[in-house]
Every structure is written in structure tokens, then in C-alpha cells.
Structure 1
Amino acid sequence: MNSKQNLQQASYSIGVVSRLTGISAHCLRMWERRHGLGPSRRTEGGQREYSKVDLDHLFLVKQLVDSGMRIKDIAALPQKTLTLISNKPANESIEVSQSFNTVVIGKDFTQLFNKHPNRYPALAVEFPAVSVEQWLNT
């Protein structure tokens, strides 16, 4: 095997991946268990070995999670799809360039948005303290 092949097959321990991505080792293990976001291989002793491809994928996943997306919504998506969603290379952060204003009417919607205020970072929401009927009559 030549040195070029060695570089392509580099592997990273969970500790190194944690330091490089900013994702705790505990979180990496949890994402692996819950969402299948584990390393592509393990040693004979069972230790995780992350490849460069795994590392790049985790950088992109973390970028999207940090931007407000839920891990369960993006964990199963392939890297190509995640890249399209982010419209940015995996090592750049996402900036919200446009926000949307909306009015949420109704108790259930208001409770949903109040419960998850950071889920939609580009959405500016107003919550009038009126019922749907009152709002429609104004």
C-alpha cells in the first residue's frame, strides 16, 4: 500500500472525532445507537474507527443541527442530500440570510411554537392573544 492509499484510509478514534467536530463522545455514541451515525468500521477489539468520510459527514450533521434542524430529521439522509440542504460546504457555517414573519393563530399552534422556539430560526412569529374566531372577525 502506498502513502496515498494510507492517507485515504486514515482512521480517527472517537476522542479525536469529538475534539475535531465539537460533538461529545457521549453524544457520538448516542447518535450511533439511536440514529445509526456510527463509524464505518471497528477494530478487532471493538473500538470505533472513523474514516475521513465519516468525519466529513459528522461535520455536516453538526452544522445542520447547530442551525436548528433536529437530528432525527437528518440522521438518515445521505451526505449529498445534507450538502444540498445546507447549500454550503461542510466546513462552513450556515447563516440565515432571510427571515419570515408570520402570525400564528390558535391555541395548538401557539403551544407548539412556544414549546420549540429554536426549531425554526428563520421564522419570526407573533402570537396574538385572541381566538381564531375573534381574529377572523377583525
Structure 2
Amino acid sequence: MGGNSFGEYFGAPDGLNDRIGPHTTETCNTYNMLKLTNHLFQWNVSAKEADFYERGLFNHILASQDPVHGGVTYFLSLAMGGHKHFESKFDDFTCCVGTGMENHASYGSGIYFHDHDKLYVNQFIASTLE
């Protein structure tokens, strides 16, 4: 789904299935991984990075915001029967509340990339390029 941490900690690659619970996929972790992936794509154009970015953005970051009140999640639970716990915009201040403000203001940053003679469209997001 794009997230990769459990309780703020990384684990062995391709092993998140052994660590699924209410504290799976910290939002700040995915935020930072997307920033890294954005740079990696610019250095070495690859569908692997573009796909990872898309999974993290749509499955984790977009899903981390309360569409009614605007709060954000610290962890996006992957527990069986789990639910989202949205932090209060004014009473809670975890790291994910801070990066959560930037997350949802930066959806346009990973749509387009270019080099000297090529244009890359990486996200299916309504947008206009001039």
C-alpha cells in the first residue's frame, strides 16, 4: 500500500506482512520516503520509483486525512478490523500533524518531470501543464 514502517521502525524488506497492526505505516515515514523517491526518480528515471510514489501517495497519504474535519493520522492501521484515528488539528501535535499539513498541499509536486527532450507524466491527477 506504500507504507513500510511498524511503530516508526523499518524492518526487513518485503516483510511487513509479519508486522501488521494498529501502528503499521507511520505517515511521516511515508512522507519522507516520497520525498526521497521524488529525488531518486529525478536522478534515474524508473517506473519502479514512479509506482512506489503513486502507491504511497494514493494509498497512504491521501487516506491519512479526515475528509470531514481535516485531521490526519499518525499511523494508518492495517490491523484486521482496524480503524483510522485522526489527530485533532488543535489539541494534538505529533510529527504527523506537522508533515500532514505539507502532505496535502503537495499533491502536484510528483505529477510531471522532464529532462532536456522528454516529459514524464507520473500521476493520474487532474492537472494542467503549460
Higher strand fraction (1 or 2): 1
Q: Which has the higher contact order (CA 8 A, sep 6+)?
A: 2
Question: What is the TM-score with the length of structure 2 in the denominator?
Answer: 0.24
Question: What is the TM-score with the length of structure 1 in the denominator?
Answer: 0.23
Higher helix fraction (1 or 2): 1
